[in-house]
Amino acid sequence: MGVSRKKALEYADRLMARPRSALELELRRNRTGVTLLHEGRAVTHCYNTRVGLAQAQEMAVALGVPFPEIGASVKATVPNGTFFRVIAISALPLDIPEARTLLERYQEEAAMARSMGEAIEI
C-alpha cells in the first residue's frame, strides 16, 4: 500500500502543533520514492520523479544526514525547527527557479536550528 501524501502531511501538522525539543525521524528510500517517518508513521513523502528526488535530497541535507540508497534508510534526531523546515522543503516546487531562494533560506534555518539543538543537548 502506498503512502498518502495528504495523510502524511496531516500527521506532520499534528506533530508541529505540539512543539518538542527533538524528534526522532527516519528517511527511508524505496523504488517509489522517499518517505520521512516519525515513530513508524509517514510525515511526508516525495515521489520517484525528478522534482521529488530533488526534494528528498534537499530534505536529507536539511536533516544533516546522507541521502540513502534505494532500499536503505537513515535516522536523524532534530529539533522541531529543523523538522518544520524539512516539511516545507518536501513541498517546494523545485522545478520553478524562484523556489531556489526559499530553499536556500530553509537550508540555512534548518542548519541553524540543528546547531542550536546540538548545543542544548551537550
What proportion of the chain, given as a percentage, has pLDDT over 70? 93
The string of pLDDT tens digits covering residues 37-59 is 999 999 999 999 999 999 999 99
Residue with more model confidence, 80 or 5 = 80
Query: pTM score, two decimals?
Result: 0.87
Q: What is the pLDDT of residue 44?
A: 93
Nearest to 35 by CA among 48, 18, 23, 17: 48
The string of pLDDT tens digits covering residues 101-110 is 999 999 999 9
Q: What is the mean pLDDT of residues 83-97?
A: 94
CA 75 – CA 88 distance, rounded (Å): 19
Domain boundaries of the chain, sorted by first residue: 5-116
